[in-house]
Amino acid sequence: MKKLIISCIVIAALLVGGLFFLQNVNLNRLGADVYYTQVQGQGKKLEDKIDNGEIMVRYEYELPAFDKNGQQKTFKFSAPKQLREKAYLSLFVKDGKGVTSYEEVTKEELPGKASQQLQ
């Protein structure tokens, strides 16, 4: 009986931990390289019509970005909304997939060499 109770507690703890992990960790950022960029322009507005007739709008950007060592690459990615002009972004990039996620950051959060390149 004691083993059954301990087993149930362990299983419950694993389930709660798994749910917490899935809700709080963005899997698109795990194992990704981080590049930094600044939004320039309004982006190219793209409209896609989905099966039910609804029109889905997204904005495509192609921007130069810099890693923490100041090395430059250009990335193309899309966002579900128009990004704020001159905003600084962290781009999370995976090999073969390109930009998998992004996050707006402040200028103070940029690494030194990337910050110098983005002035």
Q: What share of the chain is helix, strand, coil (3-state, %, to 5)?
A: 25, 40, 35
Q: Residue 61's closest CA among 104, 112, 115?
A: 104
Higher pLDDT, 75 or 5: 75
Structure confidence by residue, pLDDT tens digits, 29-83: 777 889 999 999 888 998 888 888 888 899 999 999 998 888 899 999 999 999 9
When the pLDDT of each residue in the chain is averaged and rounded to a whole number, the result is 86
pLDDT at 61: 94
Is it the case that residue 11 has pLDDT exceeding 90? Answer: no
Distance of alpha carbon 103 from its chain centroid, rounded? 6
Q: Amino acid letter at 40?
A: Q
State the CB neighbour count (10 A cutoff) for residue 90.
Answer: 19
Q: Is the pTM of this model over 0.85?
A: no
How far is residue 51 from each of residues 30, 54, 57, 60, 79, measured CA to CA in Å? 32, 7, 14, 22, 21
Contact 64, 73 (CB under 8 A): yes
Confidence label for 19 from pLDDT (cuts 50, 70 and 90): confident
The residues with which 36 forms a beta bridge, in sequence order, are 66, 90
Over the range 47-62, which residues count as b (16 or more CB within 10 Å of their CB) and which as e? eeeeeeeeeeeebebe
DSSP letter assigned to residue 8: H
